[in-house]
Amino acid sequence: MEVSEVAVIEEVEKEAVEEKTPEPTIKQNSPSREETLVSLILKLKPEVLKDIRIRQIIKTPILKRLAEEFDGNPKNLPKELFDKFGELLLYPQISELGNPKKEINDIYKLLSLEDLKQRQIAEKDEKELQTLQQKFKDFNSDDFERIIV
């Protein structure tokens, strides 16, 4: 059986191309900003979860429910929320972070900014839009309110 040189070269090149295709990497479920914020608050100062400012920026339904129903004792939570509570406690260890209070405040600031942008997009009233723009300017200052002092 005779095979042309060109056919052999094409087959070899085809195999080489197939070998170079990288395998898709398995993406690990990394916590969202909201999950990280709630996790750090639960570990450092759980009573802050009841703060209205925190509850306003949390959009994820299960985290919103956890913030509303958590009374300081995880045993009083429904099973679904108890499981989420346990999952959140396994997220980043406080010792892995430089300054957990700063981390909480930074994440709070980012989430507040995202919330503000969404409201600004949805807002049609000119006066309200100006108020939101002023709040947006405040995010860049060191005077921005801190959730944990």
**Mean pLDDT over residues 55-73, rounded?**
91
Query: What is the per-residue pLDDT for 98?
Result: 72
Cβ burial 67-104 (10 Å sphere, 16+ → b, else e): beebeeeeeebeeebeebbeebeebbeeeeeeebeebb
Query: What is the per-residue pLDDT for 94?
Result: 61
Domain map (residue ranges) of the chain: 33-138
Query: What is the per-residue pLDDT for 137?
Result: 67
Question: Within a 10 A sphere around the Cβ of 41, how many other Cβ atoms?
Answer: 24
Tokens 């985290």 — which residue?
63
